[in-house]
Amino acid sequence: MKTLALFRHAKSDWSDARARDFDRPLNERGQRGARAMGAYIKSTGRSFDRMIASPAVRAAETVEEASKAWGCTFKVEWDRRIYLASSATLVDLLKEISGDPASVLMVGHNPGLEDLIFDLVPDDGSSPLRDVVEQKFPTATFAVLELDIDRWSDVADRCGRLVELKRPRDLDPTLGPVLVD
């Protein structure tokens, strides 16, 4: 059994139309969302043997803000392949993990993270949280999958169960979408 946690980068800033997508920082709501998620992850008592993250500015700032709230720093393995990666690319990256860690936290982007959940978790009712992901996997969402594998090289479609899903708005309604009457 392996544990894979997925953490989508927090809300980014779109105010500079000239900025490259890769260079977009977090906006204020994103900073608050990343800190809220960091505090939440700390409250769960979860720990991770490895953290692999996209080096895009918004992902790096998500790691930084969440780590502040979590109260620890991580040795992060930055991997550019995560940036806007497809599920297939993320699976390939997982299969390459060396050292056989029991748990990995991946920080990245949609639609890749969402699609990875759809590929790893069967659509058979065994993971009711999968239906929530089908509705939306918003920025700064944290998900935990248990994978029925012995080695990371064994990652394959339908090998997992989605056992935890937390969105920023679950912690603070002001971190969710703006609702219009």
Ordered per-residue pLDDT tens for the chain, 181 residues: 999 999 999 999 888 777 899 999 999 999 999 999 999 999 999 999 999 999 999 999 999 999 999 888 778 999 999 999 999 999 999 999 999 999 999 999 999 999 999 999 999 988 889 999 998 999 999 999 999 999 999 999 999 999 999 999 999 988 887 654 4
pLDDT value of position 181 = 46
* CATH number of the structural domain 2-175: 3.40.50.1240
Residue 178's pLDDT is: 60
Q: Is 46 helix (H, G, I), strand (E, B) or coil?
A: coil
Cβ atoms of residues 48 and 41 within 8 Å: no
- Pair 106, 95: CB distance under 8 Å: no
Q: Is the pTM of this model over 0.75?
A: yes
CA end-to-end span of the chain, whole Å?
Answer: 46
Q: Contact 117/130 with Cβ under 8 angstroms? A: yes
Contacts of 164 (CB under 8 A, 6+ apart): 44, 129, 142, 143, 144
Interacting residues of 71 by C-beta distance below 8 A, sequence separation 6+: 42
8 is annotated as contributing to ligand binding: no
E strand or H helix at 43: helix 28-44
